[in-house]
Structures are given as C-alpha cells and as structure tokens.
Structure 1
C-alpha cells in the first residue's frame, strides 16, 4: 500500500498498521501496489517491492504506472486511542495504538 496522510508518505504492507495512520489523519489518499518485480523474494517485500516505490516517491516521481488508487484502506480504525498492542517485533518492542500525548512521561 501507498498512503499519503496529511502530506506525508507511507509505503508498506496492507497489514493494518497504515490504517492507524490513516484514521488519525485529516486528509488521506491510498493506492494499492499492483507492480511486482521480475524477481520477488517469498518473504522480503520490503526490499523487493516497497523500497523501490518509496525511492521513486522520495525522488519526486510518483509510480502511477505501478499502483491503482483506492477509496480507503480495507481495515479502518477510529481516530481514538486503541489500548492494545498492535504489533510486537522479535526484539520485544511493542507498538500500541495509544497517542504519545496520552502516555505519561
């Protein structure tokens, strides 16, 4: 997915995390990635799919021929805090749905 939320760009999988960003943004545009490279790793789309598209966007060349615009992300969360762990990586870092301003210092 490619998401433009409040003027910032995000490129990543359709796994629900971008839905949190989209739900908290005032303005969004969303595209589904339709392009696949000739050689595609079974497990590392970050390098094979997302990085080349993010590089194009960073260089000011939106990859319109590799995406299709969609109305919204399929998973859409409210803009309120989501008091649960959304993702935990293999290091034990946890990503929650809490706004930073609501977490005590």
Structure 2
C-alpha cells in the first residue's frame, strides 16, 4: 500500500470518528424565548426545569427575551400581579432550541 493511500485512509478514519460527535453538537442549538405581556397588569415568566429561573417584571405592552441552549422541552409559567399576589395565569411547553414568542 502506498504512503498516499495510507494517509488517505488515516484521514478518512479520523473524519468518520469526528463525525460521530457532530449530531450531539448540532442538537445543542440555541433558541430564543420571548415573552410579551398583552394584559393590563404586570407579569413574569418562570421556568420550572431551570430551577424556577424567572424573568424580570414585564410591564403591560412590553416583552422580555432569553436565550436557551439544549435539546429538551421546557415549561414556561406566566404569573400576573393580582392584589399583591403573583398567581400563575397560563403555562406553555416549548423546545429550547426553537425561537418562540409567547403572548399572555
């Protein structure tokens, strides 16, 4: 076998081995979640699967965005200020590699 053939086979084997890593990296895409408050009260959005990560308070007519990366579905819980309390008013599920806008 010639030296050139051995080198070509070595490069091919290295490329095949490296290609096994590509699907995992490709799945860890970054998505963007945008929450828009269309109510007349202040709201927040929280993410239970992220240790109850919470947005800042979103005023009526405003939006809040956050970039996620991962390969999983996430739950978002919207809360609204009602007489000093913050009850949940809506929930949704989304894939954290997608770009989504949720209006509550």
* TM-score normalised to structure 1 length: 0.31
Pick the structure with more strand per residue. 2
Report the TM-score when normalising by structure 2. 0.31
More relative contact order in 1 or in 2 (CA 8 Å, sep 6+)? 2
